[in-house]
Each structure stands twice: as structure tokens, then as C-alpha cells.
Structure 1
């Protein structure tokens, strides 16, 4: 498959690889404006990824040096990673929602050791076994991706049009995958005349074949008790009501009929919550719940890092069930266990 694709109406996409990741690549969108190209996301900070971005822009008859601005859907390193390098070369502005910008700011000020200590404590509280905790306690010299991301210059304000000369691109706040995730609604007639309301750059919020990771918002310097799954379900419905003619996601491929995909995802999470209540007929820690949940492979074949992510997802579902009054923590349990209410 070609590395660049012309979606018509002054929108093209580039495939920027993500090293050692089954998703394979981030789709970076190039939006033509009267002041030069604006990128939606930039891809992972890696030499091969930067090469792909450079080559892709060349194939689009432009260059990194010509980029006017960068709009970031969310702070994760496969989306925001190359923003700083693009800005260094081009002088482009970088825009992000305030909630994710504050995470970027804190990440830059937090030593890697603090992250390892924080994650070890969280996983211990979730009932993780010692063999899972040991690497976190001993591997503190490693650098983590995304710990020195570029600070954005501009704030994306939900509901407002972004400053893209000659285009109508409106920010839609869609928290869940991250606190400050945004989708971007291109309020222009679809170039192929497809029925619906413009096109939606959906980031990781709405993907054609997979459900995005919805875990707890991990941040050692913010102890706010949040409900990411509740946030996600609410903002899914908001995007469904937009009824865009086409969705341009950050992974996989573009698709139509966003309301149908939204219904599928809402049904998926409701079925998952119902299934968890069955498992919680007996008290379980978040780790024990994650071990018993259905994933894309058996638990014993899930690699180390993915188990950490799975536990965070189990916790976000637990938090939603507790908030709905459908599950509760068992008083006095340590590590804490949960049971269906």
C-alpha cells in the first residue's frame, strides 16, 4: 500500500511507522491552507518515522520546512512525538487541548524514577504479583517514551474553529482515551459528495475495527478521581450526533457511517461491563479481574507491558461500575477487591 494517499479537497495522509507496535503506523494528515500545510498529528519520535514523514511530505509536493502548524489530537507519543522536530525545522505552531498540555508540562518535569515508583505502587494496590512489580523497581535508569514531549504553543478550545486560513476546522473535545483528546471536524462539503456533515479527523477516539484503550489517566502528580470510560461513552455519543460523511482516523483506514460505528462501540462496552459483573460474583482485585477478562489473546501470552495496560483498562471499567452503583469495593480488603453490588 502506498505511504501517501490523497483524500481530495486538500487533505492527504501519510503513514508514519510506530516502532515495534502491532498498530504499525500513525496516519498523519496534511491539510492544505492559504498559509501552507497544517499537520494533524506527527507520529513517533524515531529516525525511521521522521524519514517517513519527510518522504511523505515530499511526495505531497511540500516539505517539513513548509509546515504552517501542527494540530495534536492527543499527547501520546505516536501522535505528538515528532511535533518538536517539525517545529524546529519549520517554525510551525503546535496546538493541543489544555488538559493534555498540562500532562505534557508535568511529564517534562517528572523524573523517570518517579514514574516507575508510581506505577509500581499503583500495580501493587491493584494486586499485581511480585514478579510483575520487580522490573519496575529495578529498571529505573531506562528512559520512557513521551517523557520530554514538546510543549504546545497554542491551546485547542473545544467548540471553536482553529486558525487555519481558508479552512473550517472545529475542535470537538472527546475525552476518554486521554483527558484532552480532541476530534477535528472539517466543516466543508465532502469532495466526493458523500452524504453527511463534512469529515472528522478522529485521532484514536473512533477507529474502524478496534476499540481504543480506555484506562485510568496515569499521572503521578494528579490524584483527581476520574471516570475515563464514562468520559469516553459520553463523547462517543457526541461524535455520533455529528454524523460526518467520512471519518479519517489516526490508525487503520478511513470509513463512513460514524453513527453505526459509535453504536457498535457503545454496545461493546456495555457487554463488557455486564460480563465483568458476572466475574465479580466473587471478590476480585483489578489484577485478578484483568486475568479473567477477554482479550485478543490468552492472558499467559500477553506481554509484560500489555498486562500493565490491561490492568488499567480493568480499573477504568471497575470505576465505571462503582460510579453506576453496580459494583463496590470490599471494606478492609488489601489489596482492594471489588464485588458486584
Structure 2
């Protein structure tokens, strides 16, 4: 358990994520006139809970004193412990409406429906039957994040949140999830670094990696969304804020957000250009994912990570199609795409 004082009434606790290369979620505690407000809570796991509880004690407070929880997005390494924090403290939980809708659907949908939906989506993307089969046999088992806590409040973009004595404004930054928010602390930096306050960036803006941008998961969805387009637009919005310091949910704090935004915009443009070269001949989303560059060879990527990779390939294809740089091949089944 590691804690850090960022100054100006903002501190953090490293809450471990079990069996995940990211290692931990940085949970921030923002002092207010009514008690600490947490930005995210970490994964719902006994060791993670113990680390959060002990970390808050080390910071001179306790989970019982928490006044509120602001969740940047619904993923289980951010929202997982929110319900336990509320039970222990009586705090409120706030989440953007788009992610709150996903939470409600997750609670109302049986696990079998989710596994059936995932299997159908992967089949449509061209995944081989030997990859899809484990999802069919997994029906009836639970999975992380399928019973997340319902929020008490919905975050309205642009609003000042209920942090008595502080100025924390919600900035809607869809892409990683449809309801992802960053949180702009509109106060002078405690070390008087130049720039516009501080930004809790969740997974939207990270110092060393690009967040996963895949299709928004929705078993009942019928709208063809453009998550990568959402993300790139959101990056521009955050870059214009020019905060003095960025406090992300993973890795480490950093400065010069506009420079990091430019790097990420360039990264995705380079990736789209590289995918167009691959699409010189028709490829299904699965075949495209097989040929994309990842942090390890495709043969070494485990089952669950391949699902994420295919979703990312599909998000990039959606963007290329929307830009008129690729198109589906008429009559192909499963649908293949080719550069225009």
C-alpha cells in the first residue's frame, strides 16, 4: 500500500488490481468541508479493499469519513469498490448518465445474455469457432463488473460537483467509455505551476500508454457509434484546458497535457494509416487484429486480451469507414473491409 500527498488537499492511494499488468489504480482523496471525496475507488477484491482502507487511514482519515465518490467511468478497476465505500460511509456515488445506463443494463442482464452477445459479436467479426467456444460454455458464470453499484447522482458535463469548499468541474471525455469524465480542479496549483489548475484524467489521458478504445459494449444497442472519433474529439477538448498538472488513474502524474495530447493524436493517425496499408486486401476485423502491432506476438496474446484487441480493431475500422477511407466488401460474410 502506497500513498502520496499531492498538495493542496489532494492525496492518493495505490489500490492493487489483481493479475493485471497495470498494477494498481490511483484513487484520489480530495479534502472538502464535509470530508474526503474519492475520485474512483479501485477493483472489488478483498486485497484491494484492504489497501484502500489502510491507505485512507495512512492519509489521516478513514473510509467512514468519505463524503462522496466521483467515478470517472464504470470499469471495475475504477467503480468496483464504490458500493462498499458507500455502505461503510453513507456517501453518495456520482457517474455520468451514459455509463450509469451501462451499469443499470449490467445489473438487469443475466450473465448468459452477455456471453451470448460477446460470442455473436466475435463470430460476426470473423473469430474462429475454437475462440468463440469458451464463451458459449461460460454461460451461467459471473464475470467482473456485471453487478456494479448503482449511482445516486448523475454527472452533468460542465457542472461543478458537490465538493463543499472546492471547485471541481466535470468534463465529458467519451471514447474509452461513452460516459468517461475528467475532473478539472479549478484552483491554483499548490506549487504554482503554470497552467489551469489540475485535471483528474481517469483513463482518458495517461503518461505512457494509450487507453483501450474499442466498441461500446451493449447487448441491446442498435446505433453504430464511433468511439475512436469520440476519443480524438475529447483529446482536443482536454488539450485546450492546458492544466498545470494531470493526475491520471494509472502510472504517474505529469505536466504538459497539450504535448501528451499531440502525441496521442499522432499515434492514432499513424495507426489508422498503418491499418489502411493492411486493408489493401479485404480483411475481417479478426484478421485485421491478427496483423496489427501489439505489445506481444498474436500467438502469445491470451483469450480475453484477443477479445479486447478485436474490439479495438473494430473501433478503428468504424473510424476509417466514417472518414470514407475504408468500406465493407459487398456480400462478404463475415463482413470484410478494404481501403478505398
Match of 2:9 in 1: 10
Partner-residue secondary structure (3-state), 2:306: helix
Match of 1:121 in 2: 120
Match of 1:59 in 2: 58
What are the superposed Cα offsets for residues 277-331 of structure 1, whole Å, 9 maximum, x if unpaired? 0000000000000000000111011111000000000000000000000000000
Matches within 5 A, 1:213-224: 213-224=212-223
Aligned 8 A contact 1:158 1:173 in 2: yes
Matches within 5 A, 1:41-52: 41-52=40-51
Aligned 8 A contact 1:39 1:70 in 2: yes
Shift of 1:139: 1.4
Match of 1:287 in 2: 286
For 1:15 and 1:143, the matched residues in 2 are separated by 26
Shift of 1:230: 0.1
Aligned 8 A contact 1:106 1:221 in 2: no
For 2:223 and 2:204, the matched residues in 1 are separated by 22
For 1:157 and 1:83, the matched residues in 2 are separated by 19
Shift of 1:185: 0.1
Pair 1:143-2:138 in alignment: no
What are the superposed Cα offsets for residues 146-182 of structure 1, whole Å, 9 maximum, x if unpaired? 1110000011110110010000000000000000000
Partner-residue secondary structure (3-state), 1:7: strand
Q: Which runs of 5+ in 1 are unaligned?
A: none
Shift of 1:141: 2.5
Match of 1:98 in 2: 97
Match of 1:321 in 2: 320
What are the superposed Cα offsets for residues 199-247 of structure 1, whole Å, 9 maximum, x if unpaired? 0000000000000000000110222210000000000000000000000
Match of 2:151 in 1: 152
For 1:55 and 1:108, the matched residues in 2 are separated by 29
Match of 1:234 in 2: 233
Match of 2:307 in 1: 308
Q: Which runs of 5+ in 2 are unaligned?
A: none
**Count of aligned pairs:** 340
For 1:182 and 1:30, the matched residues in 2 are separated by 17
For 2:162 and 2:80, the matched residues in 1 are separated by 22
Pair 1:178-2:186 in alignment: no
For 2:212 and 2:232, the matched residues in 1 are separated by 13
What are the superposed Cα offsets for residues 36-71 of structure 1, whole Å, 9 maximum, x if unpaired? 000000000000000000000000111110000000
Partner-residue secondary structure (3-state), 1:28: strand
For 1:22 and 1:121, the matched residues in 2 are separated by 28
Aligned 8 A contact 1:4 1:13 in 2: yes
Match of 1:32 in 2: 31
Partner-residue secondary structure (3-state), 1:53: helix
For 1:41 and 1:305, the matched residues in 2 are separated by 24
Match of 1:247 in 2: 246
For 2:63 and 2:11, the matched residues in 1 are separated by 15
Aligned 8 A contact 1:244 1:258 in 2: yes
Q: Deviating runs (4+, > 4 A) in structure 1?
A: none
Partner-residue secondary structure (3-state), 1:70: strand
Partner-residue secondary structure (3-state), 2:263: helix
Pair 1:200-2:199 in alignment: yes
Matches within 5 A, 1:65-80: 65-80=64-79
Shift of 1:140: 1.1
For 1:307 and 1:222, the matched residues in 2 are separated by 22
With normalisation by structure 1, the TM-score equals 0.99
Partner-residue secondary structure (3-state), 2:135: helix
Match of 2:271 in 1: 272
What are the superposed Cα offsets for residues 81-117 of structure 1, whole Å, 9 maximum, x if unpaired? 0000000010000000000000000100000000110
